[in-house]
Structure 1
Amino acid sequence: MSPRGVPTPDVRERLFAAAERVLAREGSAGLTNRAVTEEADCAKGLLYNHFADLDDFVAQLVLDRFARIAAAVAPLPERAGRGGVHENLADAALVLLGTNGPAIAAAAISRSDVADRVRTAWAAGAPGPGSVEAAMTGYLTREQELGRVPAGADGPMLALAITGTVHHLLMHGGQPPAEGRELIHRLVAALVPLA
């Protein structure tokens, strides 16, 4: 444990990573201040030195992880014309699932105040599922311009269908990584027409 009075480097990320491990192991019911700080090997009060309460902590965790997802998917439109259309879209969709995506989503919806805070932040412009949807729409538009996706395909609806399905998988969890990957590839192939 960090000695008292000695600054802990990268506190937010250290606590977030510890929370992800707790969530993966114990589910949302096991996510407590004590569980997170013990997992992070730091003082019990450290979480409350950086976050208003546990709900604020969980909301910030969700927002942080979605910001990372949005940043990872943002370059998707630049991939137009390279690689396979289905593979590019499936890879972007799989970023949403992530390693701990279902556990983090479960934590967010298990605490109503967290869900409200996250929705409010997204409505105010914080990166969220809409950012992923926008990147997919931009990608599909560029692929249409290149003639790899039919001009009549409804890019925004295809992007919504893909992100909506991934959202469904996140909310219901339980998909082993290999099965989730196969399901996403099948979904994209079924939805997105190629020219």
Structure 2
Amino acid sequence: MSPRKAAVLRDRDDSDLREHLIATAERLLAEQGGAGLTVRAIARAAGVADGVLYNHFADKEELLAAALRAHVDAVHRGLPPLPAPGTTSVADNLTAYLQQGLALHRAILPVMVGLLAQPAILAKFGAAQGRERDWRDVLADYLHAERDLGRLAPDADLDATVTILVGICHDEVLAALLPGGARRTSPVSAASVITTLLTGIGMESF
């Protein structure tokens, strides 16, 4: 966006310019990560003067936290719908949930890893409520619904199940990002993970 067009936005509606700044910072985060991302770089990409950012945000950390939240919400919105409880089989449904979780973490974790050296941004991100429900919460609700339907063992530890599946997503993505992390010759098989998991929490037929 040119400085002239950004100025028009500023004159017409401050909320438009604020959203423009968030969208610009979100794009830069997704393209190059947060390490070394400066106010000047964001302002130039947005087509505004450096000081304009401080008319809408207390500091760079607040802007990048809002941009990270926008990125996470956008990734959630771009994922396909998840199967409802009671449809097809639990194994097929949980495979779909895990595949979505892996896709979600592959899109989000690289950006977050780039911000580890800036904990203030992650703290502000954590304090801000997102517009989309967290995948972990959706997964937990699905498991509880399936247990209520009698398709999972009544004594199944669903909190542990959620932790296992979230941990697999973290391990799969972080192993490829962190220096010295383990390297696999092939990505994790969601179907194989779910089959193994259901051996412990499933009924005789799942």
- Same fold (TM > 0.5): yes
Q: Give CA-to-partner distance per residue, 1:9-57, whole Å, 9 cap, x none.
A: 7434433343344334433223111222223334433322221111111
Q: In 2 relative to 1, CA 146–72 (structure 1 residues): closer, same or farther, beyond 3 Å?
A: farther
C-alpha RMSD of matched pairs (Å)? 3.7
Q: Name 2:37's counterpart in structure 1.
A: 31
Unaligned runs of 5+ in 1: none
Q: In 2 relative to 1, CA 117–34 (structure 1 residues): closer, same or farther, beyond 3 Å?
A: same
Q: Name 1:2's counterpart in structure 2.
A: 3
1:113 to 101, 120, 127: 120
Confirm or deny that 1:60 pairs with 2:66: yes
Range 63-72 or range 1-10, more displaced: 63-72
Q: In 2 relative to 1, CA 27–66 (structure 1 residues): closer, same or farther, beyond 3 Å?
A: closer
Q: Name 1:191's counterpart in structure 2.
A: 197
- 1:136: Cα distance to partner? 1.0
2:9 partner SS: coil
Q: Name 2:169's counterpart in structure 1.
A: 166
1:81 to 72, 86, 96: 86
Contact 2:140–2:158 at 8 Å: present in 1 too?
Answer: yes
Report the identity percentage: 25
Confirm or deny that 1:102 pairs with 2:109: yes
- 1:171: Cα distance to partner? 5.4
Give the paired residue count: 183
Q: Give CA-to-partner distance per residue, 1:114-154, whole Å, 9 cap, x none.
A: 233334x16xxx359x9432221110111223344333432
Unaligned runs of 5+ in 2: 179-183
Given the two structures, how large is their TM-score scaled by the length of structure 1? 0.69
1:80 partner SS: coil
Q: In 2 relative to 1, CA 21–64 (structure 1 residues): closer, same or farther, beyond 3 Å?
A: closer
Contact 1:86–1:189 at 8 Å: present in 2 too?
Answer: no
2:58 partner SS: coil
Contact 2:115–2:121 at 8 Å: present in 1 too?
Answer: yes
Q: In 2 relative to 1, CA 188–11 (structure 1 residues): closer, same or farther, beyond 3 Å?
A: farther
Given the two structures, how large is their TM-score scaled by the length of structure 2? 0.66
2:122 partner SS: helix
Q: Give CA-to-partner distance per residue, 1:63-110, whole Å, 9 cap, x none.
A: 34445567789x85x7112352223312441353253x1343124322
Q: Greater share of helix residues, 1 or 2?
A: 1
Q: In 2 relative to 1, CA 104–163 (structure 1 residues): closer, same or farther, beyond 3 Å?
A: same
Q: Name 1:146's counterpart in structure 2.
A: 149
1:16 partner SS: helix
2:115 partner SS: helix
Larger radius of gyration: 2
